[in-house]
Structure 1
Amino acid sequence: MYQLIIVDDEIHAVEGIRLGMDWSKLGIDKVLTAHTVKQAKELFEEKRIDIMLCDIEMPQASGLELAQWVRERFPQTETIFLTCHADFDYAKQAIRLGSLDYILKPVPFNELEKVILKAKERIHKEAEFIQISQFGQFWFQLQPMLNERFWQDILNQTIPSNPQALSLAAADRNIEYLAEMLFLPILINIQRWHKSLTLREEKILEYGLKNSAEEILLKSKKEGLVIALSNRRILTILSLEEKEDLTAELEQEGQRYVEECSHYFYCDISCYIGQPVHGHEMLDMVNKLNELDRNNVAYNNKVFFLSKSQINSSHYEAANIKLWSVMLNKDSFDEVLSESTEYLNGLDRGVLNADLLNRVYQDFQQMMYFVLQTKGIQAHQLYSDSFSQQMSLNATRSLTNLLEWVEHTLIKAKEYVHSVEQSLTVVQKVMQFIQLNISKDISREEIANHVFLNPDYLTRIFKKETGIAVSDYLFQERLRIAKELLIKTDMQISAIASHIGYVNFSHFSRMFKKHTNMNPNEFRNTHQQSKSKIIISGVEEDTRL
C-alpha cells in the first residue's frame, strides 16, 4: 500500500482534496497533511511517503524549495505540484526538479486520479528495478542509450543502410534486432517558441517535449523509442507487428500530443507520421519526413501522414513587386505592409511549399534593398543586428515567419527613413539627392524642387554653408567619380561620361580638360602608367629583399 502527503497552506484546499478522493480505490492507505514546509519536513523524517501533492505558493518557503529538499533526501518520492498560476517559470522549475506533473487549481479530481495512478506505476517500476542485480541495473540503465545510439548511427550513416550491416552492428551491441522487424517513424518538429527563451530554457522544454512523446505517442506500445535530434526535432520510432495498422490511433494521439505541447510548452509543433519500414529503410523514410516538414510552410500544430501527402504545384500568382517599389519610393510603407500581408495570407495553402516561399522572400528582399539604395541607405545600416539576422534566417521556414519578417523589415525601414529625413538639413538633402541622381542630367531647378525651395534661394543658402554653388558641387562630384572610373576601370570614356550624366561626350571632354589640363584619355594613360611603375617598383624591392 502507498502513503501520500498533501502540503498546502490553505486548510480548506487540503481538506477538499483529502475528502474529495476515493483513496482506497487508488490503493492509498494513508493520507497525511501539512500546512507549512516545516510540518512537511517533520513528517518526512518520521514516515515513509510515496507521493507528495504540494502547493507551490506558500509563505516562508515555497513548494519548489520543499521539492528540492525531498529530491535530495527521499528520491523515491513522486512529486505532483499544485498551483493557481499557469506560469512558465513554475513549469520550467517543475520539470527541472523531476516532478511527475503540474496541475492547476481548482484541482480536477479525475485528472488527479490519473496522475496518482501514473505515480504508482512509476514507483512500482522503480521498485522492480531495485530488485535486479547490480549488473542488471547497469544493463537496463545502459540499454536505452545503446538503442538510441544504434538508431542515431543509422541516421548519421555511421552504420550503412543495408540489412547485413545493421544485423552485425546490433549483434556487436547486444541489441535485439531482426532484419524482418518493422518500424514506424514519427518526426516531431518544433516550428517556433511563443516567447523568447535562453538556450538552457529551450533544452529544458525540449526535454519535456521528449518525455511527453514517450507518454502519449508510445502509450501502450511496449517497443518504442524517442530520440532527440538536432535543429529542434524529435524522432519517435515504434516497433510494429506485421500488417499492424495504427493510422486511426496515431492520428488521435498525434493531435492530442500537438495540442498539449502547444498549450503547456509554449510552442508551435507538427508531427509527420511515416510508413512502416525495415531498419535498413529507416534513413530513406526519415529523409522523406524531413522533406515533408521542409515543405510544410503553411500549417502549424498539425499531424501529417506521408501516405496522404501530395506533391504541390509550383504555380502561383506573383506579387506586384514593381508597384510596391513605386509605393515605397513615395514612403507608403504602411500601404505596402497592408498589401503584402493581404497577398501572403491569400496564397493558396494547397500549392505553397518551401521553394515558392523562398521565391517570394527573395523577390521581396530584392525590392527592399533596391528601394533603400535609391534612398541612399545601405541595408546593413538597418538589418545587421542579431534580431534582424535571426528573423531573416527564419523567414523561409513558414508563412507565419515570413509575415513576421515582412512586417519587421518594413517597419524598421519606415522608422529609419523618417528619422534620417527629419535629421537632415536642407543642404544635406541636396547633397544626398545629387549623389543618388548623379547619372541623370539634373538641373538646378530639379534640385531645388526636391527640397521645395526657390532655385536662387537654395543657391544662396547652399553657398553660405559649403562655400560653393550647387552647380559647382554637382560638377565636382561628377569630376571626382569620372577620375576614379578612369583610373580604376577599363570602361569606355563615353560610357563614363554617360554614367555621370553627360549626354554630349564632347562637352564632357572639354569640361574635363578645362579642370585637369588633360583630356580623359591622357589622364587615364598618365595615372595608369604611374600605377604600373609603383607595382613594378614594389616587385623589385621584394626581389632585393
Structure 2
Amino acid sequence: MNLLIVDDEIVTTQVLEEQLDRELLSIDQIYVAYNTSMARDILQKNKVELILCDIEMPKENGIHFLKWVREQKIQTEVIFLTSHEKFEYAYGAVQNGAANYLLKPIDMNKINQTLLRVTEKIVWKQKTEEIREYWESGIRKMVRYFWTRVLLEPGVQKQGLEEEIKQQGIEEEIQEKYCVVILHFASGKLDLGKEKGQESIYKFAMENILAEAFTEKIKMENVICWEENKGTYLGILSEFSEKETKERAEQVRNIFEKYFPETLQIGYISPSVPFYEVGLEKEKIMEYDKTHIYDEGEIKEFMVLLREKEASGHILDEDYILQCLNKGFRVSTMEYLQKTLQHVKQTMHSVEGFRNFQVELTQLVSKYLHDKKENMNSVIRDPIYLRLDMNAVKSEFSMVQWMTWLMNKVFDLTQEERKEKTEKRITDQVIDYIREHYTEDINRNTLSERFHFSPEYIGKMFRKDIGTSLNDYINSLRVEKAKHLLENTNTKVIDIALEVGFDTLPYFSSVFKKYTGVSPAEFRKRE
C-alpha cells in the first residue's frame, strides 16, 4: 500500500515520514509533496491508496485538491491534517468524502491509529471487490442453491441429487465427502441484511471468513445461512478431513472471539460423510441442538458430544437443566421436562420409570439449591408439595403437576439472586468502560446509550454497588491519571488536563484541588 503526504511544512512532512508505523500500516512506499501541484503529478504517475493532506497551503487548499481527486475518479482515501478547527473545513472534507479530519499539533499515536482504521477499510474494500467479482459467476449461484436444498430440504434422495448435479453442470464443484460444520448464533446477534436491496456487510464478512477457513478457493457458496429455533445458523460444507476441519475450526473460533465477541454460542463438526448425507447430518445436529444450551463459543465434534450424552446413563440431562436454572429459563426447563417425561412414558411403560424421573429431578434440585445456599427443607415440607409428591407416580398428569409446582418454587427462590448478579454485572461493565474511555465525554446519558438502561437506573446501581456517584468516580480516576503525568512528565498542565478528559484548565484545576487539596502547579512543585 502506498501513502502520499501533502504538506507545505517541511518539518511536518519529515516527522510524519519518519514516525509513521510502516509495518503496522503495511505501507510499501511513502511519497511527499509540498504543494498540490506536486501531489497531482505523483498521483498521475503512481498508484496511491492513502493521502495524508494539510488543508491550508499556498495557492490551493486541501479541500479543492480533494475535489480534483474525486473528479479524476482516483480510488484513494484522504485524511486531512490541519491546525484550524473551522466548520467550513470539516464540512468540506465530509462533503467530498474525506476519511477523517485531524487537528495539529501532531499526535503520532493518534495518527497511526487513525491510519490503521482507514487502511483496514481499504483492504476490506479490495477484498470485497475481489469476492464480488468471483461471485458474479453463475455457477457459484447454482452451487449455493444446490447446498441450500440439501441442507434445508430434508429427505432429498441420493439419486435425485446426482441427477440435479448433472443437469446443472456442477459435477466439478461437488466433491465426494464433506464435514458438515454448523454454527449456532444467538438470536439478534447477527444482522442478516434484511434491508430491501442491501446485503448485510456483517453477514458477508462472516461468510467470507468461513469460506476462507473451510474451502480451498474461498467458496462462499458452501456457506448457507438460515434461522431456526429462535437462533441464527450458518452451515458450512468443509472440503477438508475431520482432523484438519477441527484445526481450522479452532482458528475460526479465535477470529470470532477477537472480531465478533459473544456472537457464537456453539459449533458442531460432523464426521466426514458423502455429499448426499450432509442433510441427514445437519438434521441430527439440529435435533441435538434443540435440547442443549451452550454459550462458551466452542466448536465441538458432534460424535464426541453424543458419546458423552450416552455415557451419562441418566434420564435427565443434568447440565442442560442446571444451565436453564442458572439463566432463569423457566419455559425452556418445563418444555424439556415435559418432553423427557413423554419419552419415559413411551419407552419404559412402568411406574418405575416415573419414580426414577422423580428421584433424579429431586436430587438435581436439592443439589442446585444447596449450591445457592437455599434450604431444600422449605420446599419439601410445604403441605402442597407433600400432597403432590405422594400422588406424582400415579399418572402422567400427576407427575406434571408435581414437577411444575417444584420448578416454579425453585425459580422463585433464586430469582432475586439472579437479579442482584445481573445488576452487579452491569456495574462491572460500566467501570470497565469508564477506565477505557475516561478521556472522553462520559456521563449518565452516554452510559445509558451504551448499556441500554435509563440514566437514573445506571446512576442508582453504581452508587449502590460502589458507594459513590458516577461523576465522583470519573473525576477521581482522571485526577489519579493527572497526578501520574504531573509526577513523571514535563507535559504542560493544560495538555495534561485535555489528555485526561477535562475540557478547560480552570475546571481541571478546581476538580484537582477538590481531590488533592492543592492546585496542579502546586502539586508538581511539591513533588
TM range (shorter): 0.3 to 0.5
TM-score by length of 2: 0.42
Tell me which structure has the larger Cα radius of gyration. 1
TM-score, scaled to structure 1: 0.41
